[in-house]
Amino acid sequence: MKSNQLKIKKSGIINNIDLFLFLLKKTIPYLTIYKIINLFKLFISKIFYIKLNTKPYFILTDTINTCNLDCKMCFTKQIHFKEKIVYSYDIEFFEDFLKKNNKTLIFIMFGCLWEPSLNKDIYKMLELCNKYKVLAFLTTNLVNCDINKLVKTQTPYIQVSISAGDKEIYKKIHGKDYFIKVQKNLADLAYIINNQKLSIYIHVKSVLQKDNENLKTIKKLRLFLKKIKINKFSLKKFQSVRNLNDNLEILPKNTNFFDKTNGIDKFSIHKKTRNYSMKYVGPDKKTSKNEALYLIESSE
Ligand code: SF4
């Protein structure tokens, strides 16, 4: 067990300081006095558990409530959503939202529970973030992405979720046969960024689970990422949204490889104060907002 822990630590190609400094450098030009005051008030309200008139600086958003993969560890699978209708919001809704919130908004993360690139306007939305001076982060499985269009948006931080380094385990974990496609997309993305010296940070994340816990496939992935010069690779412990016993089929045997608390316990911490620093915006108010409450408390 000890040796596995060591391997996990070594698997990061660049440490977190690198990412922190990168984001700090990107954030500073976007900060206005108004945003700084709001951040300060949020900080005070969190420390002293008091209510101040603040607004979230960080938005998590699902542009659509569907995905093109079928991953074993997906939160949406664990939650067992009953809603089958696919909703997405349009570019007008998004621009209106940015106009109303950009005074205090600093970051927006596309992709919370679902795959954001499946929204037909995703590239326009990422570009709009530049116009309204909000830093966009994209988390994606990269299956559906048009790499040239994505690069043009200059999205500063792209997080790619892949939990295997070969075709067989990829299919086992992600439920579809897209390993070669994703590998090519990732290599193309890294090539353009490195070749054109673009200021875009690529972070690949893998989730530890039963099918990859011997780390063989993870080592292959890591070697590939090093070869194509990805900024950062990290391993995430398996997290159960509900009871751990509901996930015995996916749960790694190694107890260091999963989070012993469940997601609901973790996020209920936000209930301590009514001043939320984060907010969730879903594709449809009636359905997805309730679904998202399992994960993040909304400020509304
Ligand atoms: S890519 Fe993400 S949203 Fe899609 S099935 Fe996998 S874990 Fe779920």
Is the CB of residue 83 below 6 angstroms from any atom belonging to ligand 1?
no
Is the CB of residue 114 below 6 angstroms from any atom belonging to ligand 1?
yes
112: exposed, middle or buried (Cβ count in 10 Å: 0-12, 13-18, 19+): buried
Residue 299, pLDDT score: 34
133 C-alpha to center of ligand 1: Å? 28
pLDDT in tens, the chain (300 residues): 343 333 444 443 345 778 888 889 999 999 999 999 998 988 888 788 777 888 888 888 888 888 999 999 998 887 766 556 777 888 988 898 899 888 999 999 999 888 999 999 999 999 999 999 999 999 999 999 999 999 999 999 999 999 999 999 999 999 999 999 999 999 999 999 999 999 999 999 999 999 999 999 999 999 999 999 999 899 988 988 777 888 888 999 988 888 877 655 554 444 444 445 556 666 654 444 434 333 333 333
Is the CB of residue 161 below 6 angstroms from any atom belonging to ligand 1?
yes
Alpha helices per DSSP H over 51-136 = 75-79, 91-101, 122-131
Which residue's CA lies nearest to atom 8 of ligand 1?
74
Just give the CATH number of 2-133+150-156+163-292: 3.20.20
The preferred substitution site among 61, 63, 65, 67 for testing ligand 1, maximizing ligand atoms within 8 Å of CB, is 67
Which residue's CA lies nearest to atom 6 of ligand 1?
71
For the chain, the structural domain boundaries read 2-133+150-156+163-292
Is the CB of residue 79 below 6 angstroms from any atom belonging to ligand 1?
no
219 C-alpha to center of ligand 1: Å? 22
49 C-alpha to center of ligand 1: Å? 35
Is the CB of residue 76 below 6 angstroms from any atom belonging to ligand 1?
yes
- Structural contact between residues 130 and 108, judged by C-beta atoms closer than 8 angstroms: no
Ligand 1, closest atom to CA 70?
5
Residue 292, pLDDT score: 38
Is the CB of residue 69 below 6 angstroms from any atom belonging to ligand 1?
yes
What pairing do the DSSP bridges indicate for beta strands 58-61 and 278-281? parallel
Q: What's the chain's length in residues?
A: 300
Residue 7, pLDDT score: 41
pTM: 0.86
Alpha carbon 158 to its chain centroid, in Å, reads 8
- Structural contact between residues 184 and 224, judged by C-beta atoms closer than 8 angstroms: no
Ligand 1, closest atom to CA 73?
7
Rounded Cα gap, residues 72 and 125, in angstroms? 29
Residue 62, pLDDT score: 86
